[in-house]
Structures are given as structure tokens and as C-alpha cells.
Amino acid sequence: MKNKKIFVACDTSNINKIKKIISQIKSNKIEIIPKFGLQFFYSKQGRKFLEKIQSDFWLDLKINDIPQTALSAIDSLKDLKKCKYITVHANGGLEMLKSIKKKAKKINKNLKVLGVTILTSLNNKSLKEIGHTKNVEQLVLRQAALIKKSGCDGIVCSAQEAMMVRKRQKKLLIITPGIRLPGDSPNDQMRIMSPKQAFKNKVSGIVIGRSLTKGNIKNNIKKLNDHLNK
């Protein structure tokens, strides 16, 4: 597990639940970093909470807009000193990605910019409905190359594409959502994988949500640790 990162998806707008998750993911066996998405960030108390949080976190906003608007969005986050990861969407194009990486470096030298590829809730049928003529793997590879060219630090893709991406992108961080412990429901995810298999696929880190946060969090962390060490 050395140098492998584990993120927990804090998908709630309830401050008390967030505090509970943060307090209970502290473990002397596994380092787990909280990830906050749109639901929490847009909530009434979410933004204020992130201003004062004492632990490193990932802000998963998937920024996707014209370059100047995207830059303004990044600039507005400069007071969030503990934010160590931010997501932008590859669909925004090369200039947007390059601009965001340049701005992020100025406001926080430790801030990692991750480019999001095809969401794990989508499959080839979904892409065809949108109007794409390429399949998931082809698009992820193309977007990964674009993210690399932009200078961003890493990509977000499903673990199913990770090995394929790693063969071409040796140095990029590869972070994978859609992670479930064995036996857990896939819920709204299409392209899922277990934590252990994801790390075998050469990912740098995994995002795990309901498998950790539903029910007894400490017991779930023990299950995760046991699973990874089998």
C-alpha cells in the first residue's frame, strides 16, 4: 500500500455526517483522504466548512467552461488552503486544462490538478446516445493524452481503463472512482472494480464511497484493510 492513495467520497450535505466520516476514517493502518463533490460544496454550510477544515482534502468540482471562466473559478478557491486536489473535465479542451494548471500552481504549489475523463456512470451505449462515435476506451486514451499534454498532474478514469492508460502514461497519477468492496451493490456505477484489483491495474489511488460510509465506518475500514492485505 506504500504510495497508494485512498479517498472517501463524502456525498452528503449534512455537516454532522461529514464530521462523523472525517473523525472515523482516521486510522493508523490506512490513510484516507476525504473527497467533497458538488453536493457538499454547493450546500449552505459546505463552503464555510472547507475554509476551516484542518485535514487535506480533494475538491471534486469537475470544472468545465471557457478558459477565463474556469480560471476565475480556480482563483475563487485560493482561500481553501487544505485543498490538495481539484478536478477539471477533459471536455473543456487543451487551453482550459493548461490555463487551470498554470493558475493552480500560482495559488497553491501543492495543489494537484486532475483531469476527468469518461464518467464511471457511462458506458458505450451512453456515449452513443450523447453522439460520440468512439467507445469508452478510445475516448479515455485520447483524453488522457490531452491531459498529459496540458501539464496536469493526473487523470480520473475507471479502473477498467487504468492498465491501458498506464501503459501509455507512465508518470501521470491515475485515480479511479467506481470502487466497491466485494459483494457491495454497484448502485449508479457502470464500470466498477474492487480496491485490490484496481491497485493491480496500476492505479495511483482509488475513490470509495458507500462501501465505506454506509453503516459502521470503522468496521468498513477494517473490511477494506483485510481485503487489501489478503
Task: List, run by run, the mean pLDDT of 10-residue segments along the chain (230 residues).
Answer: 83 95 85 96 95 95 96 94 96 96 92 94 92 94 97 94 94 93 72 89 94 92 91
Q: What is residue 178's predicted lDDT score, i.e. its pLDDT?
A: 86
Q: What is residue 187's predicted lDDT score, i.e. its pLDDT?
A: 66
Q: What is residue 190's predicted lDDT score, i.e. its pLDDT?
A: 63
Topology of domain 5-228, CATH: TIM Barrel (3.20.20)
Q: What is residue 167's predicted lDDT score, i.e. its pLDDT?
A: 96
Rounded Cα distance between 65 and 51, Å, is 24
Q: What is residue 195's predicted lDDT score, i.e. its pLDDT?
A: 93
Q: What is residue 189's predicted lDDT score, i.e. its pLDDT?
A: 63
Q: What is residue 120's predicted lDDT score, i.e. its pLDDT?
A: 82
Q: What is residue 33's predicted lDDT score, i.e. its pLDDT?
A: 96
Q: What is residue 201's predicted lDDT score, i.e. its pLDDT?
A: 92
Q: What is residue 88's predicted lDDT score, i.e. its pLDDT?
A: 97
Active site residues: 62
